[in-house]
């Protein structure tokens, strides 16, 4: 209950988002070392030097994305898979891209164990998106870019919504909601956030085979 209280106190008010987050165990997505801290509203380290985002930020981003059961969603930055699991409970289909193969593999295995049938994990460079599955109703980036990547905006359906952190890495970034209309794009700033940077290309991981 304290978990949901924290989310509410930080502005997550959408009842569907709160319900789904209450039933998605964050401890399942972190390493044994950090399981005891999974209920805290802080980012935590995961493999490959990355982080699982702060729950209240996950909630605010999910809420801003206005996901419905009809939505086909693209996520850039699978990481632990926590955000993708939350999206998958609200959407029809989720495609999620991760540049670190070990993270993509671990998340994929986790989704299988959890009986998700509507999540596809792809190990590749998310900046190019997934043209073969486009257009997407919703796109969520969980790594920060200086600007919204043009490839991704092109793969967003008219009427679609994209949520992403923008700004220089290692400084405060702005959470941006972009709505695509026939006539162009609308931008709404949602507040300050801090994310790991979006990096082009597939990562070379030492443990990779
Ligand atoms: N959504 C994640 C948060 C992960 S942090 C979760 O719920 O746990 C951001 C992730 O974006 C990192 O795992 C990082 O490796 C990944 N990333 C950064 N640049 C990327 C790119 N160009 N393509 C795909 N993934 C990328």
CB 127 within 8 A of CB 198: yes
Confidence class for position 150, pLDDT limits 50, 70, 90: very high
| Mean predicted confidence (pLDDT) in 127-140 | 98
| C-alpha 150: how far from chain center | 18
**Which pair of structure tokens corresponds to residue 65?**
């994305």
What is the bridge-based pairing of β-strands 184-193 and 173-181? antiparallel
Q: What is the pLDDT of residue 172?
A: 86
Check if 192 has its Cβ closer than 6 Å to any atom of ligand 1. Answer: no
Check if 51 has its Cβ closer than 6 Å to any atom of ligand 1. Answer: yes
Which residues are known to be catalytic? 53
* Best probe residue, ligand 1, of 43, 51, 142 (max atoms within 8 Å of C-beta): 142
Nearest residue by C-alpha to atom 26 in ligand 1 = 77
Cα separation, 154 vs 111, in Å, equals 28
Q: What is the pLDDT of residue 208?
A: 54
Each residue's pLDDT tens digit, 67-78: 999 999 999 999
Sign of CA dihedral 105, 92, 23, 176: positive
| C-alpha 208: how far from chain center | 24
Check if 165 has its Cβ closer than 6 Å to any atom of ligand 1. Answer: no
Whether the predicted pLDDT of 209 surpasses 50: no
pTM value is: 0.97
């Amino acid at each position: 209950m304290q978990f949901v209280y924290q989310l509410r106190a930080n502005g997550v008010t959408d009842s569907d988002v709160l319900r789904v987050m209450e039933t998605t165990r964050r401890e399942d997505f972190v390493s044994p070392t950090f399981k005891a801290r999974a209920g805290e509203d802080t980012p935590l380290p995961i493999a490959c030097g990355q982080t699982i985002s702060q729950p209240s930020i996950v909630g605010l981003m999910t809420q801003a994305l206005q996901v419905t059961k009809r939505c086909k969603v693209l996520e850039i930055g699978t990481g632990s898979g926590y955000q993708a699991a939350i999206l998958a409970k609200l959407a029809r289909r989720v495609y999620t891209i991760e540049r670190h193969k070990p993270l993509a593999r671990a998340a994929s295995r986790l989704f299988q164990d959890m009986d998700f049938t509507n999540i596809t994990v792809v190990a590749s460079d998310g900046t190019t998106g997934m043209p073969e599955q486009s257009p997407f109703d919703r796109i969520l980036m969980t790594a920060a870019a200086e600007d919204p990547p043009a490839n991704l905006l092109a793969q967003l359906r008219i009427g679609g919504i994209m949520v992403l952190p923008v700004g220089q890495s290692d400084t405060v970034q702005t959470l941006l909601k972009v709505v695509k209309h026939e006539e162009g794009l609308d931008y709404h700033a949602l507040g300050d956030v801090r994310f790991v940077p979006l990096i082009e290309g597939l990562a070379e991981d030492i443990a990779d085979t």
